[in-house]
Amino acid sequence: MSSPRGLFVGGNWKMNGTLDSSKKLIDHLIASKLDESTEIVVAPPFIHLLQVKDYLQASSHPNIKVSAQNAYHKSSGAFTGEVSVDQLVDAQVPWVIIGHSERRTLFGEADHNVAEKTKAALEAGLSVILCIGETLEQREKDETVSVVTRQLNAVEQEVKDWSKIVVAYEPVWAIGTGKVATSQQAQEVHSEIRKWAASKLGQSVANKLRIIYGGSVAAKNCKELSTQADIDGFLVGGASLKPEFVDIVNARL
């Protein structure tokens, strides 16, 4: 039985593409028949963000929005190379990805950094895709639940209103590796996240909270994953740069 919450599909383009390829990706999306009940968010590199936003606004497609891949929690200042949440709001970018495993592992973002960024983004009026997940070593030590709840607890200490947060569970061992958690493995962790939300945030919030899966999501596995009770969509990496992204958006058709 699939989740009663609407499907949410994010495409994280990471550090890929050109201005031309970004336009072609959007042109393909706009020209495709898409499930009208699926909420779609695409996250281009910063240098392409405004162009993609303008393309989408010109197309008047109601279900596709843009997201930044990261943001800094300070509103302005001497932070070379960073983009602030306030600048995203000023540019009318509605979403931001916070805490992606690549930010955590490659750039040293700790749980408290992710929490302060999430708080700043929400206070500025942005919606947040909050990423959590465990490494292969942590999974093999049976630490998955303790790791993801620790990451969530850090944010919960700073944020009380979760209505504009989508939680993305991304097992680090399955990102860009071609490995994917089985639908049962993914559902088990999603269920634990929802139990955490019920105990920390209340059952009503837990029932509404969208929890999406990321980690080598592709057309071949999205339909089975989408049938799970607590999987509300996907955060897609490599496949979001390919035509099959449309198949993932349409996973419930």
C-alpha distances (whole Å) from 151 to each of 54, 160, 165 are 34, 15, 14
Check if 100 is active-site: yes
Cβ burial of 173 (10 Å; 0-12, 13-18, 19+) is buried
Side-chain half-sphere CA neighbours of 7 within 13 A: 24
CA–CA separation, 189 vs 127, rounded Å? Answer: 23
Q: What string of DSSP letters covers 88-151?
A: HHHTT--EEEE--HHHHHHS---HHHHHHHHHHHHHHT-EEEEEE---HHHHHTT-HHHHHHHH
DSSP 11: E
Q: Which two tokens stand for residue 52?
A: 């993609």
Q: What stretch of H or E contains 39? A: strand 39-43
Residue of 39, 48, 73, 100 marked active site: 100
Give the active site residue among 48, 116, 170, 190. 170
Q: How many separate helices (H) and strands (E) can be counted in the chain?
A: 11, 8
- Alpha-carbon distance values, 177 to 151, 173, 216, 217 (Å): 23, 7, 7, 11
28 assigned to active site: no
Tell me which residues are annotated as active site: 100, 170
